[in-house]
Structure 1
Amino acid sequence: MLPFYEFLAIGLMVTFILALFTGYPVAWLLGILSLGFAALGIFLGDQFGLDTFLMTSWAKFSGIVDRFDAIMSNWVLVSLPMFVYMGLMLDRSGVADTMMRNFVKVFGGIKGGLGLTVIVIGILLAASTGIVGASVVLLAVLSMPIMLQNNYNKALASGVVAASGTLGILIPPSIMLVLMADQVSVSVGDLFMGALIPGVALGLLYMVFVIIVGFVRPDLVPPRPADAEKLTARQVGIAFLSTLPTFGLILLVLGSIFFGVATPTEASGLGAFGAILLAAANRKLSWSVIRQVGIETTLTTCFIFAIFIGATVFAYVLRLIGGDELIAEFFKGLGLGPTGLVLVVLLVVFVAGFFLDWFEIVLIILPLLAPVIKLAGLDMTWFLILVALMLQTSFLTPPVGFSLFYLKGAVPKGVTIRDIYIGVIPFVLLQMAMVALCFMFPQVILWLPQQMYGGG
């Protein structure tokens, strides 16, 4: 029979999963349920002498204060609001609008050319913003009307926009990778470098898919009309020049990290300042924009840290009542080797992505599963990037796929949620294919960190 404290641990996890369906904010659920089970464990231990593992008194529980202090004094987490600010300011700088207009002239005359334009700009935005919501909405507003006017299939156009905008959660600088590095105590720089090749390769895989569709089903992605403006060398040059500000910002942020000039925290400040300069150069900077971006950055940061604090309480209580040991014993009892263990963890993350936001998965589930991977002696950079790739699917899978809801709020009338759901299916399959590729060939992830630091 299971010890009493293990019943408490199972009860806490099951109750949290059921409570998610009530619709209450996750941060509140995490905190309230954790405090409730802590009180229950202490009460039953005192009144009936039951073994509640390490949950022996409120004095023991007060150790959570040290966890809060560690969160607030963590310099890695200081980069989060700066990266958020950079993405939101870049969203208003006008660089994406300029690139879209110029790239449409270059690629619009070929089959699937408008879709390729969206993907290219999605990759550039991902490497300079890292904010999925902003990228999806911006790409939808800029590209969906143009694609629909040129008779693109609604579902395919929706899938291209949703998938391209979601690249920002993987391609560095990504706030998800910053949080993952903090939760598992690995180098942010290693994760950034490990994610760069798979992230860009995934974008290229999207492009190959659109090109294939253009050959097989040209009616789904037709070129612009033959009487449209003819392509000239000057237009190609202008399109190239329009990418230079974004490339400059990418080089400023990622280059300073990769070459050891700045820490991720310092680079986030450089990126935020660079985004302000781009907005000013495009005459988009005003006190109204500064105020709006500041407010949105504050709200987003508060949202992240509220879940952060709630997840910290949840993980602390779960650890005190033996939940981490219970999970470790469960995976050990499966009798799987390292390969099978990673596959099971990735399956858990994939299924969780249907019901949980990536915040909850990174802050709640990942800290519980990562120790099992460490005990198996697997490379943590490789494992975390696999998880990050899998977490991308959580943005595209209903019912909690946030990219789907961002897109639905920005698409023109006539595009239904059914169109969006159908459109993302091939891109979810492409993401799974990239996970399989990186799983079978770890060097896709580890090569760049090894070249930079001599180790993954």
Structure 2
Amino acid sequence: MEYETVFVLTYAALFVALLLTGFPIAYVLAGTAMLFAVLGTVLDWLGIWIVDVEVGYIGLTVSRVFGLMSNFSLVAVPMFVYMGAILDSSGIGEDLLGVANRLLRRVPGGLAIAVVAVGTVLAASTGIAAASILMLGAIAIPTLLRKGYHGGLSAGTVCVAGGLGSIIPPSIMLVIMADQMAVSVGDLFVGSLIPGLFLAGLYTLFLLLTGLVRPQLVPTEGRRDDMREPPLTAGEVLRGFGAPMSLIFVVLGSIFMGVASPTEAGGMGAFGALVLSFLKGRLSMETLRQANRQTARTTSVIFAILIGATCFSLLMRGFGGDDVIQSAVLTVSDEAAYIVLFILMVVFLLGFLLDWIEISLILLPLSLPIVTMLDINPVWFTVLVAMTLQTSFITPPVGFSLFYVRDVVPPSVTTLQIYRGIVPYVFIQLLAIAVVFLFPTLVTGLPALIYGR
């Protein structure tokens, strides 16, 4: 084994060992990089060329970190986080669920389908999967259980409906991934729209079939009160869906039509969320304080990890990590399709151990040279990675999204029930990934149609 390979493996092993101590991931990334930077510098001074260390990468780290913090595209992150924080306190989720439930009350599994519909709208409004899951769980699970829905099915539905925030724009995860894969945020937003809506459609079809084939899981007896309510008027539907849909149009429409960049659209979305909250009478100083605090905390964590990951990946390249990883991956196959499948499998397994931001900031920069060399469409590849991460996060027993759901379901719903309820959705996710893998036009077609590329 070559010295470069040993050095890179030691670098990765130290990172994993420090990670298992429970230390914050941002400090682990930066600390590992600093330790090996010192080691590389000492080896260079001593003239010990055990490994061909590019010491220039160490000095480059400082300029890269400053460049990261001045990246205009990443300004969209706090904008979308703030928009989601304001919407969380505006009561928009409760209003949406109430209207959607009454619209679908005569449909088998209608309440669960309403949860998927609300999750889709919230995903397109907030861009944060964890926030959507917690918000949906708090308002939907008590209603689902009260209407007699199966506990596991209820938890699983909330988990995947909230998780759509990972793949449907304006996803924060997609903003970070676009930066790491050197693609336009707008292209990635447009490319992920059809796969995200396709997933929502598959969830809806599954729930509809469940209502027809196994009605005991989604009983209609518990919905008699809903049946007795008068039909919705056009005004009620407009009040329920009009506000969030107008916000979605402002944010996504301005991006898709080329009127505004994602960062500018995020600013408009944050302002629009403030206006909606004010019109609903929910805007107060306490609401603003909570939203400011949540935005500052979330953004600080994201950018701290960004800085640590930038140092980590840059030093990895300095030690020849790109060449080592590229050689290892190319030993799997010389076919691009098999290499993509191999990377997706690695992403799926890493999703059990790391959150999306660590995987995005460590694995994607290392995958970029391979994607470029094999002439793989980076937007298609990134959407597949996002869908794979979304699947990993709902897969028992250690999917991160399952822990969010566990926090909001009552003790009467056991963890085993949650696992059983999520399994059908895991297979739905795998089916969707297979379809997008086999038909890349689902991702690349819309950007080509809108932007001509």
Indicate whether the TM-score tops 0.5: yes
Q: What does 1:279-294 align with in structure 2 at a 5 Å threshold?
A: 279-294=277-292
Whether contact under 8 Å (1:38, 1:55) holds in the other structure is no
Q: What does 1:420-439 align with in structure 2 at a 5 Å threshold?
A: 420-439=418-437
Moved more, 371-380 or 420-429: 420-429
Deviations 1:386-405 (A, max 9, x none): 11111112321355533222
Q: What is aligned with 1:64? A: 61
Q: What does 1:117-136 align with in structure 2 at a 5 Å threshold?
A: 117-136=114-133
Mark the CA change 1:322 to 1:283 in structure 2 (over 3 Å): closer, same or farther.
Answer: same
Moved more, 93-102 or 354-363: 93-102
In 1, distance between residues paired with 2:103 and 2:138?
A: 20
Q: What secondary structure, in the 3-state scheme, does the structure 2 residue paired with 1:83 have?
A: helix
Q: What is aligned with 2:50? A: 51
In 2, distance between residues paired with 1:234 and 1:148?
A: 24
Please state how far the C-alpha of 1:452 moved relative to its aligned partner. 0.4
In 2, distance between residues paired with 1:314 and 1:412?
A: 41
Q: What does 1:375-454 align with in structure 2 at a 5 Å threshold?
A: 375-398=373-396, 400-454=398-452
Mark the CA change 1:264 to 1:99 in structure 2 (over 3 Å): closer, same or farther.
Answer: same
Deviations 1:243-271 (A, max 9, x none): 11111000000011111111111000000
Deviations 1:135-162 (A, max 9, x none): 1111111111111111111111100000
Deviations 1:188-227 (A, max 9, x none): 1110000001101101100000111111111011123446
Please state how far the C-alpha of 1:109 moved relative to its aligned partner. 3.9
In 2, distance between residues paired with 1:169 and 1:423?
A: 20
Whether contact under 8 Å (2:40, 2:53) holds in the other structure is no
In 1, distance between residues paired with 2:331 and 2:399?
A: 33
Deviations 1:111-149 (A, max 9, x none): 211100100000000011011122111111111111111
Q: What does 1:343-382 align with in structure 2 at a 5 Å threshold?
A: 343-382=341-380
Please state how far the C-alpha of 1:337 moved relative to its aligned partner. 0.6
Deviations 1:261-317 (A, max 9, x none): 111110000000000011011100000000100000000000000110110111011
Deviations 1:347-368 (A, max 9, x none): 1111111111000110011110
User: Which runs of 5 or more structure 1 residues have no equivalent in the other structure?
Assistant: none
2:59 is the alignment partner of 1:91: no
Aligned AA (1:172): P
Q: How many equivalent pairs are there?
A: 452
**RMSD across aligned positions (CA):** 1.6
Moved more, 194-203 or 40-49: 40-49
Whether contact under 8 Å (1:53, 1:321) holds in the other structure is yes
Whether contact under 8 Å (1:118, 1:161) holds in the other structure is yes
Q: What is aligned with 1:189? A: 186
2:219 is the alignment partner of 1:222: yes
Please state how far the C-alpha of 1:182 moved relative to its aligned partner. 0.8
Mark the CA change 1:228 to 1:234 in structure 2 (over 3 Å): closer, same or farther.
Answer: closer
Whether contact under 8 Å (1:119, 1:206) holds in the other structure is yes
Q: What does 1:206-245 align with in structure 2 at a 5 Å threshold?
A: 206-223=203-220, 224-226=222-224, 228-230=226-228, 232-235=230-233, 238-245=236-243
Q: What is aligned with 1:255? A: 253
In 1, distance between residues paired with 2:299 and 2:45?
A: 40
2:163 is the alignment partner of 1:146: no
2:101 is the alignment partner of 1:104: yes
Aligned AA (2:338): G
In 2, distance between residues paired with 1:240 and 1:150?
A: 26
In 1, distance between residues paired with 2:22 and 2:199?
A: 33
In 2, distance between residues paired with 1:227 and 1:12?
A: 61
In 2, distance between residues paired with 1:263 and 1:253?
A: 10
In 2, distance between residues paired with 1:166 and 1:60?
A: 37
Please state how far the C-alpha of 1:231 moved relative to its aligned partner. 5.2
Mark the CA change 1:245 to 1:46 in structure 2 (over 3 Å): closer, same or farther.
Answer: same
Q: What secondary structure, in the 3-state scheme, does the structure 1 residue paired with 2:408 have?
A: coil
TM-score (structure 1 length as normaliser): 0.95
Aligned AA (2:264): E
In 2, distance between residues paired with 1:417 and 1:273?
A: 40
Report sequence identity in percent. 42
In 1, distance between residues paired with 2:103 and 2:186?
A: 35
In 1, distance between residues paired with 2:57 and 2:300?
A: 28
Q: What secondary structure, in the 3-state scheme, does the structure 2 residue paired with 1:234 have?
A: coil
Please state how far the C-alpha of 1:105 moved relative to its aligned partner. 2.3
Aligned AA (1:362): S
Whether contact under 8 Å (1:194, 1:449) holds in the other structure is yes
Moved more, 219-228 or 65-74: 219-228
Q: What does 1:193-208 align with in structure 2 at a 5 Å threshold?
A: 193-208=190-205
Q: What is aligned with 1:175? A: 172
In 2, distance between residues paired with 1:46 and 1:410?
A: 56
Q: What secondary structure, in the 3-state scheme, does the structure 2 residue paired with 1:54 have?
A: coil
In 1, distance between residues paired with 2:224 and 2:90?
A: 33
Moved more, 42-51 or 247-256: 42-51
TM-score (structure 2 length as normaliser): 0.96
Moved more, 223-232 or 279-288: 223-232
Whether contact under 8 Å (2:397, 2:419) holds in the other structure is no
Please state how far the C-alpha of 1:240 moved relative to its aligned partner. 4.7
In 2, distance between residues paired with 1:99 and 1:212?
A: 23
Q: What secondary structure, in the 3-state scheme, does the structure 1 residue paired with 2:283 have?
A: coil
